[in-house]
């Protein structure tokens, strides 16, 4: 369950040891920062409940809010959890901008996309083609994430 998801998130965050492009690094001994991008308050609460002991969670309700945080010069996130289906910019558009326009690599900003959209195989393929580091189906198991 939750342990496996937490392990995967820790592994992804550990891979992102490159100096953040902009922003500041977390203070020594502080939990890494997770940027959760989802337009649903309940999903955001689940993310915070699942990862709040391992990560400090910053919420963004839209892709534009996520970019506003990234561009703010505040602490750079160790990992981004990104919903696929959102109003305005979809998760696919957000991750394409992260990889292409902002030139952030998988090690600089790992992006784990989450979706309940069907068909799952096609959604996962589009997520990876768009630049996702990993993909999880909703509802997700904390152990797997």
> 53-103: per-residue pLDDT in tens?
999 999 999 999 999 999 998 899 999 999 999 999 999 999 999 999 889
Please say if the pLDDT value at position 5 is more than 50. no
User: What is the average per-residue pLDDT within 41-58?
Assistant: 93
Whole-number Å distance between alpha carbons of 121 and 34: 26
Task: Evaluate the omega torsion of the peptide bond into residue 139 and state whether it is cis, within 30 degrees of 0.
Answer: yes
Residue 18 has a pLDDT of: 44
Are the CB atoms for 112 and 55 separated by under 8 Å? no
Residue 80 has a pLDDT of: 97
Q: How many alpha carbons fall within 13 Å on the CB side of residue 37?
A: 32
pTM of the predicted structure, to 2 decimals: 0.79
Band of residue 38 on the pLDDT scale cut at 50, 70, 90: very high
Residue 67 has a pLDDT of: 95
Please say if the pLDDT value at position 37 is more than 50. yes
Give the helix/strand (H/E) hosting 129.
helix 120-130
């Amino acid at each position: 369950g939750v342990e496996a998801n937490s392990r995967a998130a820790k592994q992804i965050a550990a891979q992102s040891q490159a100096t953040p492009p902009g922003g500041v690094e977390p203070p020594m001994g502080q939990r890494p920062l997770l940027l959760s991008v989802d337009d649903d308050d309940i999903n955001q609460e689940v993310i915070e409940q699942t990862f709040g002991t391992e990560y400090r969670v910053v919420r963004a309700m839209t892709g534009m809010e996520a970019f506003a945080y990234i561009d703010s010069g505040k602490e750079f996130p160790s990992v981004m959890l990104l919903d696929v289906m959102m109003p305005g910019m979809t998760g696919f558009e957000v991750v394409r901008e992260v990889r292409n326009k902002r030139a952030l690599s998988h090690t600089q900003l790992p992006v784990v996309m989450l979706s309940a959209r069907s068909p799952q195989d096609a959604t996962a393929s589009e997520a990876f083609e768009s630049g996702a580091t990993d993909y999880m189906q909703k509802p997700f198991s904390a152990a797997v994430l």
